[in-house]
């Protein structure tokens, strides 16, 4: 795998992009060198078809082609409105290039079931799968979900809900929807090789913020762990 970081000297986002790449490689436990290419003049812009600084390419392909449609000695803005791409999207691109198996869990709010599923798979199956999650109407992650995950040694307190459009330039080995509503409202899934639906009922939306919610969330957590680990272990992708 070849990762290139193209930049203009003095670019304020160069160091942030470099750090983002190194941190992502570290999270994926890979040992991949980063090639840095300084763009000095108009000839370099032409030679490298340079769309702005910083630009990240993996095996020669821009990680966000829809924001790479112009060239010049200029700064670059990514789909998230900043000068560096989102780490989750970059993580997916690098994981796929490294031929790691990837799975995206999709649920309406990306606040309960899909967050639990992502964390469970990344914690217990990190040697086999790299998991991601997203929603079609992202909501704040419930504090009780964070609490019950911490009980089994998984800290998701820094996780954020994500819209599925974040992964529009990505592709996955598998997409798993976790509720029946997703297919009715989501018309733009990222590319995938295989898609499954595994229904888990959400105690928060079903019962509200009621007494005993913690025990219901623990049951949901344990059901997701048991079901998804078995499902992915039996997967032949």
pLDDT band with cut points at 50, 70 and 90 for residue 118 = very high
Task: Give the closest residue to 16 by CA, choosing from 91, 83, 67, 90.
Answer: 83
Show the DSSP H helices in 62-142 as ranges: 87-97, 113-124
Check whether residue 57 and residue 120 sit in a common domain: no
For 129-139, how does the pLDDT look when each residue is reduced to its tens digit (9 = 90+)? Answer: 999 999 988 99
pLDDT band with cut points at 50, 70 and 90 for residue 202 = confident
To which residue do tokens 């800290």 refer?
155
Q: Domain boundary at 42, 70, 92, which?
A: 92
The structural domain count of the chain equals 2
Here the CATH number for the domain that contains residue 67 is 3.40.30
177 sits in which H/E element = strand 171-177
Burial of 167 by CB count in 10 Å (0-12 exposed, 13-18 middle, 19+ buried)? buried
Check whether residue 176 and residue 130 sit in a common domain: yes
Here the CATH number for the domain that contains residue 144 is 3.40.50.2300
Distance CA 153, CA 59 (A): 36
Q: What residue numbers bound the domain in which 173 lies?
A: 100-233
Task: Give the closest residue to 195 by CA, choosing from 181, 179, 170, 177.
Answer: 177
Q: Domain boundary at 52, 68, 92, which?
A: 92
CA dihedral sign, ordered 173, 178, 179, 182: negative
Check whether residue 65 and residue 125 sit in a common domain: no
For 164-185, how does the pLDDT look when each residue is reduced to its tens digit (9 = 90+)? Answer: 999 999 999 999 999 877 777 7
Indicate whether 74 pLDDT > 70. yes
Check whether residue 206 and residue 226 sit in a common domain: yes
Are 203 and 220 in contact by the 8 Å Cβ rule? The answer is yes
Mark 85-118 as b/e (b = at least 16 C-beta within 10 Å): bbebbbbbbbbbbbebbbbbbbbbbbbbbbbbbb
**pLDDT for the residue numbered 204:** 67
Check whether residue 130 and residue 55 sit in a common domain: no
Q: Domain boundary at 92, 126, 141, which?
A: 92
């Amino acid at each position: 795998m070849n990762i290139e970081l193209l930049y203009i000297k003095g670019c304020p986002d160069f160091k942030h992009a470099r750090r983002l790449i190194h941190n992502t490689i570290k999270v994926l436990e890979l040992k991949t060198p980063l090639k840095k290419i300084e763009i000095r003049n108009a000839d370099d812009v032409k030679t490298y078809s340079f769309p702005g600084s910083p630009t990240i390419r993996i095996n020669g392909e821009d990680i966000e082609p829809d924001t790479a449609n112009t060239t010049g000695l200029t700064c670059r803005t990514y789909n998230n409105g900043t000068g560096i791409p989102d780490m989750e999207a970059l993580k997916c691109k690098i994981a796929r290039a490294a031929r790691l198996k990837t799975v995206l869990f999709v649920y309406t709010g990306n606040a309960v079931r899909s967050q639990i599923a992502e964390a469970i798979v990344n914690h217990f199956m990190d040697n086999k799968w790299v998991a991601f999650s997203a929603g079609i109407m992202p909501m704040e992650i419930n504090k009780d979900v964070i609490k019950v995950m911490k009980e089994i040694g998984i800290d998701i307190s820094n996780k954020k809900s994500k819209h599925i459009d974040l992964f529009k330039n990505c592709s996955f080995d598998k997409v798993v929807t976790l509720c029946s509503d997703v297919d009715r409202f989501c018309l733009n899934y990222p590319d995938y090789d295989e898609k499954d639906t595994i229904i888990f009922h959400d105690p928060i939306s079903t019962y509200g913020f009621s007494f005993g919610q913690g025990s219901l969330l623990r049951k949901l957590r344990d059901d997701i762990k048991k079901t998804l680990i078995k499902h992915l272990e039996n997967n032949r992708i």
